Structure 1
Amino acid sequence: MRGPLLRVENLTKHYPLGAGLLKKTIPVVRAVEDVSFSVEAGETLCIVGESGCGKSTVARLLMRLVEPTAGRVLIEGTDIAGLKKHALRGFRRRMQMVFQDPYSSLNPRLTAGQIITEPVENFERLKRRRRQALAADLLRKVGLSPEMMHRLPSELSGGQRQRLGIARALALEPSLIIADEAVSALDVSVQAQILNLLMNLQEQMGIAFIFISHDLRVVEHIGHRVAVMYLGRIVELAPCKTLFAKPVHPYTEALLAAAPVPDPTRVRLEAPVKGEVPSPINPPSGCAFHPRCPLAVERCRTEIPPLVPMADGRLVACHVRAPAAEILTEPAAAVTSSVAHLARLSDPAVSHRTTEI
């Protein structure tokens, strides 16, 4: 296959707010603003950022669950953002999603076997024996017993329900799976099992993942590249190892400094920024991060910084840091320490990925 599996160009989503009859302009929520990135086959791109930064909106836009205001979403060179319902249907098989809540995302009236085979039957009718064989095979693939195909979601644990959601996503043999906070509702030990499951499936099947999370230790464990979002825009995009070792954007530094450290003897680093995220209805002029940034200069208040390439292969949107390339390393130590704790809970056969990326 030539080119990336997924290419996103200038993706934008505005939600208009209600306005009275006498108002000439309608205010909008700028949920996603001019987002661009690509994903190769077999790659995991992680998207991180504070709540409300637009991570989940990006996921819904990629799946065409909501319509974009502007921009393009290209799957293997075809722009699906403008496809009509019938033409889009064929691309539904190539993209699937694993949702954050493993219970509310499953139909409580269907058995596990029916949940797995339902997506396939939207495209083709299966005989009873084939349905059972497909459900049994996918349950084994995600580490569950085929006997569970007759159980309802309420009869499964949280980890089992999330595995069931992954099995449902695999049923159509997709090229891309979007996992939106797929492990945030699970215990730490179950998180490690699910992460190792996703990584093993990726190695076996060559699936690409877009992994959305606010947990940086999980991101460092599973990701190949990381996109950091702030107020609807990507402010830094870099290989996972590069970003965690040497963050460049001040907001990336703040995220790494705020990561909890599972070591009672280690002093937690103070986050270098303070304050709340501005409203997406009335974002600041220039760089949206400048009201909270300790390095902000006058140019930051008036000009939106573009994503520019750095010598080490990353992209950074910062007027101060990008030209100077002044890279700080100290805040990354907090995340490096915490990810080691997660790796100890992981399967030794795959936990090496954290150091080999």
Structure 2
Amino acid sequence: MSGSLLKVENLTKHYPLGAGFLKKTIPVVQAVTDVSFSVEAGETLCIVGESGCGKSTLARLLMRLVEPTAGRVLIEGFDIAGLKKNLLRDWRRRMQMVFQDPYSSLNPRLTAGQIITEPAENFGRLSRRQRQALAVELLRKVGMSPELMHRLPSELSGGQRQRLGIARALALRPSLIIADEAVSALDVSVQAQILNLLMDLQQETGIALIFISHDLRVVEHIGQRVAVMYLGRIVELAPCEALFARPVHPYTEALIAAAPVPDPTRIRLEVPLQGEVPSPIQPPKGCAFHPRCPLAVERCRIEVPPLVPMADGRVVACHVRAPTMGIPAEPITANSSLSPMAQQ
């Protein structure tokens, strides 16, 4: 078994639409389908894709905020996907989440100090002095003045609220933090502060980070590896520098081509992307991207492409590109690690 901090195997979440004995088949929303990857201690894995591709659902599956339809989520080798709530409680300390909207994720009736110390008190009673010391320590760690501990979330700025959310996530000293669009609602200058804060905290504490974003500029700045999702599946997973220097999957190419480039002298890829994202209720047969793909062949319309490892350490799900890029023979399976660090 892999020594990865987090290992996800064939994780799937389908939401049934309605019920009734007269219906022979019940339609389902295929939010996440057959997703596998691993994360090492101290690593940053970014997950990108268009809205509705399953990024946030995947985050909630990892946290067990929603129940998976199938698959496994292993933390330090132990599968938490099927644990009952009373057994899951202790494992929650190892993973914490920073949500997209800092205001709605904070209790408006609690002060900043109470918000920070609440997770720790859920696992053991703290004296008043211990609570205050913990709040002061974490506020300083995220670059906030301890004087703010008595303020309500409504009295803080957006950047301060997001820092408060990060401080709360650190209260239990987790091994992994999942940040779901954690900077998308913030000004550019505040985004840079939060990103640098996360990177500094990672170097200081050694935590792993799963960073979910639709902003490729942010991903290029913070990521070590990047997983590209389309309609609930991972279509490419690669080291960050390699992905942006040479995207292989046509969808990855289109995403990078669509991102604004501040440098007018930099040559951009011209990859027109036609059509709209298909419905997750009735996804296309074969490769889900084939109706919009300029490279699609007949096989793409029939057969779902497996994630195949390539010579440069990335994995790609593409019938057209993968055979031409010097790949090993075997596709990725549930028991294979997608982490280059784990393969060393």
Normalised to the residue count of structure 1, the TM-score between the two structures is 0.89
> Who is 1:337 aligned against?
none
Displacement after TM superposition at 1:266 (Å):
6.7
The CA deviation string for residues 98-146 of structure 1, in whole angstroms up to 9 with x for no partner, is: 0000111000000000000000010000000110000000000000000
Query: 3-state SS of the aligned residue for 2:179?
Result: strand
Report how far residue 22 of structure 1 moved.
Answer: 1.9
Q: Which residue of 2 aligns with 1:14?
A: 14
Give the Cα–Cα distance (whole angstroms) in 2 for the partners of residues 72 and 266 of structure 1. 42
Q: Secondary structure at the match of 1:120?
A: helix
Q: CA deviation at 1:85?
A: 1.4
Aligned to 1:332: none
Aligned to 1:227: 227
Deviations 1:132-191 (A, max 9, x none): 000000000000000000000011000000000000000000000000000000000100
Percent of paired sites with the same residue: 87
Distance 2:152 2:182 in 1: 20
Aligned counterparts, 1:200-279, within 5 A: 200-263=200-263, 270-279=270-279
Report which stretch shifted further, 264-273 or 52-61.
264-273
Mapping 1:1-357, distance limit 5 Å: 3-263=3-263, 270-325=270-325
3-state DSSP of counterpart to 2:247: coil
In 1, Cα distance between the equivalents of 2:267 and 2:302?
37
What is the match of residue 354 of structure 1?
Answer: none
SS at structure 1 position matched to 2:282: coil
3-state DSSP class of the match of 1:93? helix
Q: Which runs of 5+ in 2 are unaligned?
A: 327-344
Is residue 253–residue 269 contact of structure 2 (8 Å, CA) maintained in 1? no
**Does the Cα contact within 8 Å between 1:260 and 1:268 map onto a contact in 2?**
no
- Listed one character per residue, the Cα deviations across residues 60-105 of structure 1 (whole Å, up to 9, x for unaligned) are 0000000000000000000000111121111011000000001110
Cα distance per residue 1:14-73 (max 9 Å; x no partner): 000014442111000000000000000000000000000000000000000000000000
Letter in 1 for 2:195: L
Aligned residue identity for 1:181: E
The residue type equivalent to 2:277 in the other structure is: V
Q: Classify 1:7/1:154 alpha carbon distance in 2 versus 1 (closer, same or farther; 3 Å).
A: same
> What amino acid is the match of 2:34?
D
Contact 1:101 1:185 in 2 (8 A): yes
What amino acid does structure 2 have at the position aligned with 1:144?
Answer: M
Amino acid paired to 1:240: C
Output the CA distance in 2 between the equivalents of 1:325 and 1:294. 18
Distance 2:81 2:7 in 1: 11
Counterparts of 1:84 and 1:231, CA distance in 2: 29
- Partner residue of 2:330? none
Instruction: Check whether the contact 1:100–1:184 (CA below 8 A) recurs between aligned residues.
Output: yes
Give the drift of 1:298: 0.3
| Structure 2 Cα separation of the partners of residues 267 and 244 of structure 1 | 13
Structure 1 counterpart of 2:9, which letter? E
SS across alignment from 1:234 = strand
CA RMSD, aligned part only?
A: 1.6
Show structure 1 runs of 4+ deviating over 3 A. 263-271
TM-score (structure 2 length as normaliser): 0.93
Structure 2 letter corresponding to 1:217: R
